[in-house]
Amino acid sequence: MNGVADTSLSPSVSSANASDSEAGIVTGISALTATVFAQVAKAGNTFVSGCEFDSSGHCVIHNHDRQSSPASRTVDNGGGAQQNDVNGMAQPDRSQDGGNAEGAGNNAQMELSVEGEALLKSVEELRLSPYDDQTGQNISTWVRGATIGYGHLISKSEWPIYKNGITADQADALFAADVAPFVDSVNEAISVSLLQNQFDAAVMLAYNIGISGFSSSSAVSLINDPQTSTPYSNLESAWKAWNRSQGSVNQGLVNRRKAEWDVYSNATYEKW
């Protein structure tokens, strides 16, 4: 699937409901087109809580939403609310560069490559029937974490659309609608030049941890300025810190972070 709060809460998965008027734009899966998929994907925000961990072992909570752009999020750090933003970022340490793709300027709008899309789809795995993201089991009624296609989280109001499953072509259309905001969010959050493989890896990370989680992460801070102060010694450590689900280290996430890092650091597009 698709300031800092100092807390001991375990990560969890939840879905926010879309409005009835927006979610009701279609009455069945047969009516879905790429345009409708895009509308449905924007009908509501999906929230996923996740953790980085600071040097004291405390969970750093981010609110992950699938919005069209990485908005600043307000979190409580124990002393009042503060805003996370992604402005004012410096130039990168080019020793982090990898691969041989042509770099793009920080004002250029990059796109996910064919190789990046193929790997992300492979990692997400195609499921044409709804399933529980936490267990991997098919479901016949909506649950938090209900998922379909290539990691699309199903909000409760979307359930009537997806409950009977989708086709492979519909899954492709849904993926295209889902991934577009994450491509935009990486373009907005990263203020320095990236190679294509680095951009692809960043989109893959954002797609998994959410737009707000990505935009306010230590990984983004270190991409933009390797000298910035974070709880991590380097970018690789910050990247791979996103490895927990339900409060525990998850091997699937460990594998996923390694695959993303291999793409970022040496342009190796391989699933584990």
CA distance 117 to 235: 23
Q: Which long-range contacts (CB under 8 A, 24 or more apart) does 221-227 make?
A: 221/89, 223/92, 223/96, 223/190, 223/192, 223/194, 223/198, 224/89, 224/90, 224/92, 224/190, 224/191, 224/192, 225/89, 225/90, 225/91, 225/92, 226/92, 226/93, 226/96, 227/90, 227/93
| Cα 158 versus chain centre, distance | 20
The reply to whether 124 belongs to the active site is: yes
In single-letter form, the type of residue at position 158 comes to E
Taking CA 266 as the corner, what is the angle to CA 262 and CA 267, rounded to the nearest 5 degrees? 80
Residues 6 or more apart in contact with residue 181 via CB below 8 angstroms:
66, 67, 68, 69, 211
**Catalytic residue among 52, 117, 124, 158, which?**
124
Task: Catalogue the active-site residues.
Answer: 124
